[in-house]
A and B are shown apart, each in its own frame.
Chain A
Amino acid sequence: MSEKEIKNLEQIFEARIERDEKIEPKDWMPEKYRQTHIRQISQHAHSEIVGMLPEGNWITRAPSLRRKAALLAKVQDEAGHGLYLYSACETLGVSRDELYEQLHSGKAKYSSIFNYPTITWADIGAIGWLVDGAAIINQVPLCNTSFGPYARAMVRVCKEESFHQRQGFEIMLTLCRGTEEQKAMAQDALNRWWWPSLMMLGPTDAASVHTEQSLKWKLKRKTNDELRQQFIDQTVPQADILGITVPDPDLKWNEETGHYDFGEIDWDEFWQVVKGHGPCNKERMKARVDAWENGAWVRDAAMAYAEKQQSKKVAKAS
């Protein structure tokens, strides 16, 4: 194809997205569109399955059977969401194994928030409330993204995720209505998870390299800073209901803008975690690699068994 022809196809392609038409896997698409989607969808999938680890850490220690079942179901949903997203990614011609390889080698990124440790039960509440809260803000607009399989996966994810945040908030609420010790536990969790949750919505617009292109392809409907503001505006009143304090001395309601003003985010910390030096980066990656490598004999066995059964069937038929 000549450069001019590609240019022409690209124009038609961009016009389709402009008209809110969906792009399906076999449609022609610019190589950059494909690559960007593989990167973003797989990053999203990786975040789901790495995200299972900090919460999974508390399954055996959940303080009641009701909480245990809910947490188990939630972590399982995350596996499901990872699966939907990997499947969406696979329609772009890359296998789940290749995507795992990228994750395990450190080439692919995942949400940096999962590199923080869950050290008390209240952290499970805080993750559900704050991390899932921030995730929902990120994800709801993606139900209308331009790439069909991604949009469909996100519809399913969002539908299922609606209980996750409520589950987290309910844990926090129970703690805050409990003993002094429980309330202190909730406050401590908010203190530790607040800032990482704000960072989770991505670097500031000024520092974000992908925003403009992503907005055009509807991979993003709002900028990181807009999403962050939305998150803060909706979360601060929830903290008030809980009766705990957001750990930001500069946080205050701005009558003029109709939004909360908030303090400086420590972006050095963010980049340090992204670059692999968060408190749990190494443990998280080791857990994923171990699960994959220790499971190799199991996956091989299942394939070998399936082939044997298949040839038995063929032998019987002939």
Chain B
Amino acid sequence: MKKNWPLWEVFVRSKNGLEHRHFGSLHAADAEMALENARDVYTRRNEGVSIWVVESKYITASNPADNGELFEPAKDKVYRHPTFYNLPDEVKHM
């Protein structure tokens, strides 16, 4: 029998108020072990207050080849940004 431990992605919240951020990956046989390993591997220096782990195979990633159609169209929607609108300098707090 040769089955390797699957790969997991690790997300760590450094402190309350911040989002979980992708820290890296590791191998583990099950979710419990993945959490424990993540704790030992990625929070040795007090880097976290909360950990998420997810098996890498469950992540669906966009394909960079589609970047044109996925992301280019957002580029010219300048009206979504506040700088698009001209206001006189006297107007404050806006």
Q: 6 new A-B pairs (CB below 8 Å) besides A83-B41, A160-B45?
A: A83-B26, A87-B24, A96-B27, A303-B3, A305-B29, A309-B30
Give 1 or 0 for each of B1-44: 1 = CB within 8 Å of chain A CB: 11111010000000000000000111101100100000001001
25 A-B interface contacts by CB (under 8 A): A26-B61, A26-B64, A76-B44, A77-B44, A80-B41, A83-B26, A87-B7, A87-B24, A87-B26, A90-B25, A95-B4, A96-B4, A97-B4, A153-B24, A300-B1, A300-B3, A302-B5, A302-B29, A302-B33, A303-B1, A303-B29, A305-B30, A306-B29, A306-B33, A309-B30
CB distance from B31 to the nearest CB of A (A): 9
Q: Which of B30, B63, B65 has the most CB of A within 10 A?
A: B30
Tell me the complex Cα distance, A28–B33, Å.
34
List the A side residues contacting B25 at CB < 8 Å. Answer: 87, 90
Contact B29 A90 (CB under 8 A): no
Q: Which residue of A lies closest to B61 (CB)?
A: A26
A210 at the interface (CB under 8 A from B): no
Q: Is A84 part of the binding interface, using a Cβ–Cβ cutoff of 8 Å? A: yes
Residue of chain B at shortest CB distance from A24: B64
Number of cross-chain contacts by CB at 8 Å: 51
User: A27: CB under 8 A from chain B?
Assistant: yes
- The reply on A299 being an interface residue by CB < 8 A is yes
Among residues of B, the one whose C-beta sits closest to the C-beta of A97 is: B4
Interface centre among A24, A152, A153, A299 (most CB of B within 10 A): A299
> Which positions in B face A, CB cutoff 8 Å?
1-5, 7, 24-27, 29-30, 33, 41, 44-45, 61, 63-65
Which listed residue (A27, A84, A160, A302) contacts B30, Cβ 8 A? A302
Residues of A at under 8 Å CB distance from B?
A: 24, 26-28, 76-77, 80, 83-84, 87, 90, 95-97, 152-153, 156, 160, 299-300, 302-306, 309-310
- Measured CB to CB, the nearest residue on chain A to B33 is A302
Residues in B with CB closer than 8 Å to A27 are 64
CB distance from B56 to the nearest CB of A (A): 9
Contacts of A90 in B (CB 8 A): 7, 25
Bound complex: CA A160 to CA B41 (Å): 12
Cα A113 to Cα B45 with chains together (Å):
28
Q: Cβ of B2: which chain A residues have Cβ within 8 Å of it? A: 300
Smallest distance from the beta carbon of A95 to chain B beta carbons, Å?
Answer: 7
Closest 8 CB pairs of A and B: A302-B29, A306-B30, A306-B29, A87-B25, A303-B3, A27-B64, A26-B64, A303-B29
In the bound complex, how far is the Cα of B64 from the Cα of A96, in angstroms? 25
Q: What's the least CB distance linking A77 to chain B, in Å?
A: 8
Residues of A within 8 A of B27 (CB): 96
Q: In the complex, what's the smallest C-beta–C-beta distance from B10 to chain A, in angstroms?
A: 10
Q: How many angstroms from the CA of A304 to the CA of B61 in the assembled complex?
A: 29
* Closest beta carbon of chain A to B61's beta carbon, Å: 6
Which residues from B are CB-within-8-Å of A302? 5, 29-30, 33
Are A84 and B24 also in contact (CB < 8 A) when A97-B4, A303-B3, A309-B30 are? yes
| Separation of A309 and B31 alpha carbons in the complex (Å) | 11
Q: Could you say which residues of chain B place their CB within 8 Å of the CB of A156?
A: 24
CB distance from B28 to the nearest CB of A (A): 8
* Min CB gap B51→A, angstroms: 16
Q: How distant is the Cα of A306 from the Cα of B55 in the complex, in angstroms? A: 13
